[in-house]
Amino acid sequence: MKRENRKQEIIHTAAILFKEKGYSAVTMRDIANEMGMKAASLYNHIKSKQEILNCIIISLAEAFTKGMNVIVDSNISSIKKLEAIITLHVTITTNNENEMASLNADWMHLEEQLDYYLSLREAYENNFRKIIREGIQQKEITNIDVDVILFSILSTLRSLYLWIPKKEDCKPKQLAANLSSVLLKGIFIN
């Protein structure tokens, strides 16, 4: 197996263990055992548990940032941008359920990369606020507290990694459409 593929396999296995036990409770020996290898062999592919966590969290944060930047730069309405953000979250989460657990629960364990991660997160949330404000100004969105809107949408999207695995028949496109409808239009019949 190629070195890079083996490294990705180790990272994915670690993400599963981090989700099940929590980052702090998992050791490199646990990861090696789960991989069916000796701990010493694991170090041929990866330096530390911290490197694994960095790979998981930073790659996801950068994917969200890249997606958000495309959405912000697009020439579509604020509502369409919010729908695109919801789709972005559903897509990334469906493809990275275990890794999303680390992004949400273990980011505070980052060491060298913590400031970088926090800057990505802050920029992402600021872009989200910008889209909401534009929607309010354009009278597409009800004029209520921007942070309440942001919190309401993001809290749902950030917890998708807990919910999606329980839904065997989850179809990402349909889920994104349903979430957009509920989060952006509500549940009232007009």
Query: What tokens does 77 get?
Result: 């309405």
Q: For each of the chain's 190 residues, which pLDDT tens digit applies?
A: 455 688 999 999 999 999 999 999 999 999 999 999 998 888 889 999 999 999 999 999 999 999 999 999 999 999 999 999 999 999 999 999 999 999 999 999 999 999 999 999 999 999 999 999 999 999 999 999 999 999 999 999 999 999 887 777 778 899 999 999 999 988 877 6
Q: Would you call 114 exposed, middle or buried from its count of C-beta atoms within 10 A (0-12, 13-18, 19+)?
A: middle
pLDDT at 1: 46
Q: Please, are residues 28 and 48 in contact by the beta-carbon 8 Å criterion?
A: yes
Q: Is the dihedral of CA 34, 39, 41, 47 positive or negative?
A: positive
What integer pLDDT is reported at residue 4 of this predicted model? 64
pTM: 0.91
What is the per-residue pLDDT for 3? 55
* pLDDT at site 187: 80
